[in-house]
Amino acid sequence: MHAKKHFGLAFALTLVAACGGNETTSSTTSTSSASGTGGAPATTSDSASASTSTSTSSAGGAGGGGVADLTVQTYQSDVAGPAVDSHLILGSKEAVLVDGQFFKADAAKVIALVNASGKTLTTVFLTHAHPDHYLGLDPIHAAFPQAKVVTTAAVLAEFKAKSAATFMYLKTSFTDQIADALTTPEVLAGNTITIDGQALTVIEAPHAGESGSAAALALPGKKALIAGDVVYHDVHLVLGECAWQGWLDNLTAVKAMGFTTFYPGHGAKTDATTLDADAAYIKAVVPIMDGAATAADAKAAIKAKYPGYASDFLLGFSVDNYFAGCKKAP
């Protein structure tokens, strides 16, 4: 329970204030445990239900004849925990990794995935400045020191503004389950990352939404998008940044781009129908949270409406953060 409070708070915009103590959130955390999301850190360390999947993304012919298809392998951490994805894009010789996990144990699985690929990791790309995507970057960078860790200028600015306090706060709860240091990304020069001569194109989210800033990576041919947390797939969306309208606008913007395959930040590879599903979730869940008397009531109502969605863990801190900083006054 105690650890979960810290994890939830880390995502709140009021994080720096929370770092000095926040008794209000303690009470909402007590109610959250009653909804069955307790024990998340220990569960997450057990990677038995974590998964790795491989799929081939068509280059769509956009690059002309003779362009080899890129392959995407995904490591998703335990669905009882953050259920967060790291996507490994593989060319014929090189590899690019997108996002770096929360727990050290999961970062180790990503390192093993890269090693098993037999490719040279050239670049690690961070989609946004949330700790479930960046805390594992330090051990990953240590394992592959030749790889550049990069992100956009906007994401780096958010990382620099929030990550030190977030890290300090999480370290008190998760101690040796998370890395001992942060790796700060560099700003990517230009808006492409090259893998074996093919360009992956960075697409920045136009609005603050799931996070303040976010970026995705388009595979050649623009049929497939490594979407980061603009897209969740059958995993509870984290609505703790009070920018749900911006998230809806981002989903609309992405939908207009015409991608047909999505590698989400949380959940399995999917298609464009998930953009509508995510929008529907936001439109349904925000009124539930605004109307609920307590966080526990909101969690129960959301679970009843979305019984098949993974990660009570994410639901817990989504609702706790929403109640702490976003909920409309009654």
Residues of this chain that interact with Zn ion (CB under 5 A) are: 130, 132, 229, 265
Cα–Cα dist 319/302, whole Å: 10
Minimum distance of Zn ion from residue 204's CB (angstroms): 17
Minimum distance of Zn ion from residue 83's CB (angstroms): 9
Residue with smaller CB distance to Zn ion, 132 or 241: 132
Residue with smaller CB distance to Zn ion, 70 or 203: 203
Write the single-letter amino acid at 194. Answer: T
User: For residue 122, what are its two tokens?
Assistant: 């050239």
Minimum distance of Zn ion from residue 130's CB (angstroms): 5
Cα–Cα dist 223/212, whole Å: 26
Cα–Cα dist 6/94, whole Å: 37
Minimum distance of Zn ion from residue 131's CB (angstroms): 9
Residue with smaller CB distance to Zn ion, 69 or 132: 132
Residue with smaller CB distance to Zn ion, 59 or 243: 243
Minimum distance of Zn ion from residue 27's CB (angstroms): 25
Minimum distance of Zn ion from residue 102's CB (angstroms): 9
Residue 143 buriedness (CB in 10 A; 0-12 / 13-18 / 19+):
middle
Cα–Cα dist 201/70, whole Å: 14
Residue with smaller CB distance to Zn ion, 109 or 130: 130
Residue with smaller CB distance to Zn ion, 69 or 234: 234
Cα–Cα dist 194/323, whole Å: 42
Give 215's DSSP letter: E
Angle between helices 312-325 and 23-32 (to 10 degrees): 140
Give 47's DSSP letter: G
Cα–Cα dist 153/176, whole Å: 30
Residue with smaller CB distance to Zn ion, 292 or 314: 314
Minimum distance of Zn ion from residue 185's CB (angstroms): 16
Residue with smaller CB distance to Zn ion, 94 or 229: 229
Stretch (H or E) spanning 6: helix 2-9
User: For residue 8, what are its two tokens?
Assistant: 């939830």
Do you know the residue count of the chain?
A: 330
Residue with smaller CB distance to Zn ion, 135 or 147: 135
- The neighbour count for residue 39, using CB atoms within 10 Å, is 15
Angle between helices 244-256 and 273-291 (to 10 degrees): 170
Cα–Cα dist 43/38, whole Å: 9
The residues, ordered by sequence, that sit 6+ positions from 277 with a Cβ below 8 Å of its Cβ are 233, 234
Minimum distance of Zn ion from residue 82's CB (angstroms): 7
User: For residue 17, what are its two tokens?
Assistant: 């204030």
Minimum distance of Zn ion from residue 24's CB (angstroms): 24
